[in-house]
Amino acid sequence: MGFDIKRMDIYRKVPKDLTQPTTTGAIISICCCVFIALMLFVELLWFISPDIKSELIIENADPTDRIPVRINVSIPRMKCEFLGIDIQDDQGRHEVGFVENTVKTPIGDEGCLFEAKFHINKVPGNFHLSTHSVDIQPDNYDFAHEIHEISFGSKIRKISSKNIRSSFNPLKGRSKTDGTGLESHEYIMRIVPTTYEDISGTKLVAYQYTYAYRSHISFGHGGRVIPALWFRYDLNPITVRYHEERPPIYHFLTTVCAIVGGTFTVAGIIDSCIFTATEIFKKFELGKLT
């Protein structure tokens, strides 16, 4: 007599005529299928939506790289004709009245909305709004201001959309309109390089920063007070790296099997308990319970 492979079947079938459908079993089966479908949908969304991981690394700054800067500031008590931006750094750069990619929009009769885009070297330095670039100085100075944007590098919208805590434009909304017109306002910024690499390998570079503020009265040549709006910066050697990760396919398949198998097992136990309890209750009513 040959070996019968059917003997190895651990999932033996029960003839349909020997099974008994019940209303409770049907309800549990429907709930079971709905629950499985919902859990599989959620698991699929989690699998196809990459997770964002972060880590801190130390990188040496490449001195040949330059950082793009965007500035948007309202100066409500200084005319545009007197305002310019000066850029200085520790590599010897000193530009007075930088005009490339600079837009000055009058606000009312006395104010100015100052916008500029430029690049800075990866060394400590500063840029400041002042009247240093004009030959005729105003009769009165007042660098009261409201900052709309001071940002560095690329704009990484995915970080904002994921509600990840970040500090790419912390000076937005900063207003300093009190004080005397002779004051210089100074923001000292500590810049932290930040990279973001998506699932396809595309890399974006931005820069977060923290800041401290102080005001003071500065005297120029001859003892004349010449105020300005200063932004001093230095770079942190620590880089924040964000990267997208997707769980491996075997993790997804394992989770699917666990959801389906676990749900059917638990549903079967519940159905069996309810069916057994119902049968016992029926026998009790008929007085056949011994």
Rounded Cα gap, residues 227 and 131, in angstroms? 8
Could you tell me what percent of the chain has a pLDDT over 70? 90
Q: Give the containing element (helix H, strand E) for 285.
A: helix 249-286
What pLDDT, on a 0 to 100 scale, did the predictor assign at position 144? Answer: 93
* Residue 114 DSSP SS3: strand
pLDDT digit string, tens, across residues 62-101: 767 899 999 999 999 999 999 999 999 998 999 998 888 9
Across the chain, mean pLDDT equals 86
Separation of alpha carbons 149 and 170, rounded Å: 8
Q: Is residue 38's pLDDT more than 90?
A: yes
Q: What pLDDT was estimated at residue 210?
A: 94
What is the model's pLDDT at position 163? 65
Handedness of CA 96, 116, 153, 210 (dihedral sign): positive
Q: What is the mean pLDDT of residues 237-263?
A: 87
Nearest in space to 181 (alpha carbons), one of 131, 144, 142? 142
* C-alpha gyration radius of the chain: 35
**Residue of 80 and 5 predicted with greater confidence:** 80
Nearest to 35 by CA among 270, 209, 201: 270
Question: Which structure tokens are listed for 47?
Answer: 């699998």
Task: Find the mean pLDDT for residues 268-274.
Answer: 85
Is residue 223 scored above 70 in pLDDT?
no
Task: Please check whether residue 166 is in contact with residue 218, taking contact to mean a CB–CB distance below 8 angstroms.
Answer: no
Question: 54 or 163: which carries more pLDDT confidence?
Answer: 54
Q: Which two tokens stand for residue 264?
A: 């059917």
The Cα 49–Cα 199 span in angstroms is 10
Res 124: pLDDT? 93
**Spatial distance between the Cα atoms of 270 and 266, rounded to a whole number of angstroms:** 6
Does residue 220 carry a pLDDT above 70?
no
Torsion of CA 35, 245, 50, 155, to 10 degrees: 160
What is residue 150's predicted lDDT score, i.e. its pLDDT? 95
The two three-digit tokens of residue 77, written as one number: 């008590």
Q: How far is residue 232's CA from residue 212's CA, in Å, rounded to a whole number?
A: 10
pLDDT band at 162 (very low <50, low <70, confident <90, very high): low
Reported residue count of the chain is 290
> Does the pLDDT of residue 185 top 60, yes or no?
yes
- Cα of 33 vs its chain's centroid, Å: 37
